[in-house]
Amino acid sequence: MEFLITLITTVLLLLMPAITSSQYLGNNLLTNRKIFQKQETISSYAVVFDAGSTGSRIHVYHFDQNLDLLHIGKDVEFFNKITPGLSSYANDPEQAAKSLIPLLQQAENVVPIDLHHKTPIRLGATAGLRLLNGDASEKILQAVRDMFSNRSTFNVQPDAVSIIDGTQEGSYLWVTVNYALGNVGKKYTKTVGVMDLGGGSVQMAYAVSKKTAKNAPKVADGVDPYIKKLVLKGKPYDLYVHSYLHFGREASRAEIMKVTRSSPNPCLLAGFDGTYTYAGEEFKAKAPASGANFNGCKKIIRKALKLNYPCPYQNCTFGGIWNGGGGNGQKHLFASSSFFYLPEDVGMVDPKTPNFKIRPVDLVSEAKKACALNFEDAKSTYPFLAKKNIASYVCMDLIYQYVLLVDGFGLDPLQEITSGKEIEYQDAVLEAAWPLGNAVEAISSLPKFERMMYFV
């Protein structure tokens, strides 16, 4: 009997740690939880420079292991910008690189110092550098690479600094907008198409069906394909993407001036006589004695867009470019950059709003009002444009956006578009710009993180 009691006691002592969450100490019962090894909290920051044609911008994001954004203070990103853009330093690449140091310092202050060596840093240059002549752009990029390597404590990969092509820019923006709206992983018909009117180029990107992608026109070697294939949260998408170089807000003015050459241009306001400089080239900018003319300006812009250019496909936008076929992926559109800033600057919307609804036809009403003004009156009517020294182009810019949307992209004048500089995300807002998509790709490639996004 004594042996049996000893055996049972021994077995109970061996089993107790595994089967109970209590233990005895003398006459006292101590209850305590099992002790598990603390799980490592994995997160990563990403730093992305957007080197645009009119300025450079810094974006800092913080992701958890599942590629969900974490807060940085009260916001879900750190953002700041400087002017002018890198392309303004075409003859001084070292100064171009130095211009980024204040933004770099700000990013270094945002990211905890013990995570610097793990934090990927990228710089994507867009249309401004694409338009520079000769090797000027490559010299600037190399100066930035050297500055990052010598000055930055972040993780600088060999491909960290580059000119991103227009299709990449459009694809990244599409990811940004659909990520922010919670559309990632949904059917392509539930996604939102994007348009981005920058300084040097304009992009259109939207998801299409597999059938449309399969039948997309082939392009010549060295030309960006019409379809970009990417996987986002395990779901493959076929994106129609095209970037129209020379047709951004600033670049388009030069194209419009080329149509009239040294003759008066009906897109310019009465009393204006000067020059317009873009990408180092000067253009005569003189208004007719009678001032701007809505229909005359519209005709000039249609010529600048090459709307009558031969179309080798069933449907084209302008300049002989395939339009992607339309479809549900283009049914809802989000327009960013100058599609937002121009209506804001002319007072069509509340400047405090992050985004708003607008129809192409709404631009016509404002354009007719603007075109009827002389140059001096326009400066007082549009103080924000006057401050930027571009009030003389208000008639031109408004009509250009309308013609681009309706005659160029083939949208219905009454189609409602969401135009914005920011998108509501959780309890904060995100900049509606391509760097978030680029950051998601960068973090997706890190070990231990979900491979949310990659191109195929």
Q: What is the pLDDT of residues 33-60, one digit of tens each?
A: 344 444 567 899 999 999 998 899 999 9
pLDDT band at 280 (very low <50, low <70, confident <90, very high): confident
**Three-state DSSP class for residue 154:** coil
Per-residue confidence (pLDDT) for residue 13, from 0 to 100: 45
**How many CB atoms sit inside 10 A of residue 42's CB?**
13
pLDDT at residue 375 is higher than 60: yes
Long-range contacts of 362-368 (CB under 8 A, 24+ apart): 363/398, 363/399, 363/401, 363/402, 363/405, 364/402, 364/413, 366/398, 367/294, 367/395, 367/398, 367/399, 367/402, 368/294
% of the chain beyond a pLDDT of 90: 83
Q: Which amino acid is at 147?
A: M
Question: Is 201 part of any known ligand binding site?
Answer: yes
pLDDT at residue 8 is higher than 90: no
pLDDT digits (tens, 9 = 90+) for 67-91: 999 999 999 999 999 999 999 999 9
Per-residue confidence (pLDDT) for residue 448, from 0 to 100: 86
Q: Using an 8 Å Cβ cutoff, are 96 and 143 in contact? A: yes
Question: Across residues 162-187, what is the average pLDDT?
Answer: 95
**How many CB atoms sit inside 10 A of residue 83's CB?**
11
**Using CA atoms, how far apart are residues 196 and 203, in angstroms rounded to an integer?**
5
Residues with active-site annotation: 169
**Using CA atoms, how far apart are residues 190 and 199, in angstroms rounded to an integer?**
30
Question: Is 202 part of any known ligand binding site?
Answer: yes
Q: Establish whether the linkage from the previous residue to 217 is cis, with ω within 30° of 0.
A: no
Question: Is 199 part of any known ligand binding site?
Answer: yes
Dihedral of the alpha carbons of 208, 213, 217, 223, in degrees to the nearest 10: 90
pLDDT band at 2 (very low <50, low <70, confident <90, very high): low
Residue-by-residue DSSP string for 362-377: HHHHHHHHHHTSBHHH
Please name which of 311, 36, 318, 69 lies closest in space to residue 184, comparing C-alpha atoms.
69
pLDDT at residue 22 is higher than 60: no
Q: Which amino acid is at 309?
A: Y
Predicted TM-score (pTM) of this structure: 0.88
Per-residue confidence (pLDDT) for residue 297, from 0 to 100: 98
**Three-state DSSP class for residue 98:** helix
Per-residue confidence (pLDDT) for residue 128, from 0 to 100: 86
**Using CA atoms, how far apart are residues 262 and 283, in angstroms rounded to an integer?**
8
Per-residue confidence (pLDDT) for residue 166, from 0 to 100: 87
Per-residue confidence (pLDDT) for residue 6, from 0 to 100: 52
pLDDT digits (tens, 9 = 90+) for 345-364: 999 998 889 999 999 999 99
Domains of the chain, earliest start first = 44-164+434-455 (3.30.420.40)
% of the chain beyond a pLDDT of 70: 91
Per-residue confidence (pLDDT) for residue 40, from 0 to 100: 60
Mark out the alpha helices in 49-112 (DSSP H runs). Answer: 93-98, 101-110
pLDDT digits (tens, 9 = 90+) for 97-119: 999 999 999 999 999 999 999 99
pLDDT at residue 386 is higher than 80: yes
Q: Using an 8 Å Cβ cutoff, are 156 and 422 in contact? A: no
Question: Across residues 402-407, what is the average pLDDT?
Answer: 98
Question: Across residues 148-173, what is the average pLDDT?
Answer: 94
Q: β-pairing, 355-358 with 193-197?
A: unpaired
**Using CA atoms, how far apart are residues 361 and 364, in angstroms rounded to an integer?**
5
Q: Distance from first CA to last CA of the chain, Å, rounded? A: 74
pLDDT at residue 326 is higher than 80: yes
pLDDT digits (tens, 9 = 90+) for 196-253: 999 999 999 999 999 999 999 999 888 889 999 999 999 999 999 999 999 999 999 9
pLDDT band at 130 (very low <50, low <70, confident <90, very high): confident
Per-residue confidence (pLDDT) for residue 26, from 0 to 100: 36
Per-residue confidence (pLDDT) for residue 390, from 0 to 100: 97
Residue with the larger pLDDT of the pair 305 and 30:
305
Q: Which amino acid is at 148?
A: F
Strand order in the sheet with 78-82: 78-82, 56-64, 43-51, 121-125, 161-163
